[in-house]
Amino acid sequence: MLATGKGEFMTEFGEPPATITPYPDGPLIVRGAFELCELDGTPIPRSGKTVALCRCGRSALKPFCDGSHKLAAGNGRSGPG
Ligand code: FES
């Protein structure tokens, strides 16, 4: 990781480093430069720079979130409250 001199950091490829945000009762949102791989190191294709990773275990699209966590919560919301 490289410092930009503006209080920011970039990867060696000029992209911001990845951030991971856990959503209450929902997925982990991963943004930025990262690679998602199977246990054997095989890259898992993704369509964008932001992905939602399932952490409830109910998704039919693992490792990605398919929204099934909302059914488990019973209230249709993924946020607090
Ligand atoms: S976190 Fe969304 S389906 Fe598991």
Ligand 1: centre distance to CA 57 (Å): 7
Q: What is the pLDDT of residues 23-63, one digit of tens each?
A: 999 999 999 888 999 999 999 998 888 999 999 999 999 99
Around ligand 1, the residues with Cβ closer than 6 Å are: 26-27, 54-56, 58-59, 65-69
Q: Which of the listed residues 21, 23, 53, 59 should we mutate to test ligand 1's pocket, taking the one with most ligand atoms within 8 A of CB?
A: 59
Domain assignment of residue 5, yes or no: no
Domain assignment of residue 25, yes or no: yes
**Which pTM does this prediction carry?**
0.74
Structural domain for 53, as ranges: 16-81
Domain assignment of residue 68, yes or no: yes
Ligand 1: centre distance to CA 34 (Å): 20
Domain assignment of residue 48, yes or no: yes
Domain assignment of residue 66, yes or no: yes
Domain assignment of residue 1, yes or no: no
Domain assignment of residue 69, yes or no: yes
In total, how many domains does the chain have?
1
Write the DSSP string, 31-77: ESB---B-TTSPBPP-SSSEEEE--SS--TTTTB--SHHHHHHSSS-
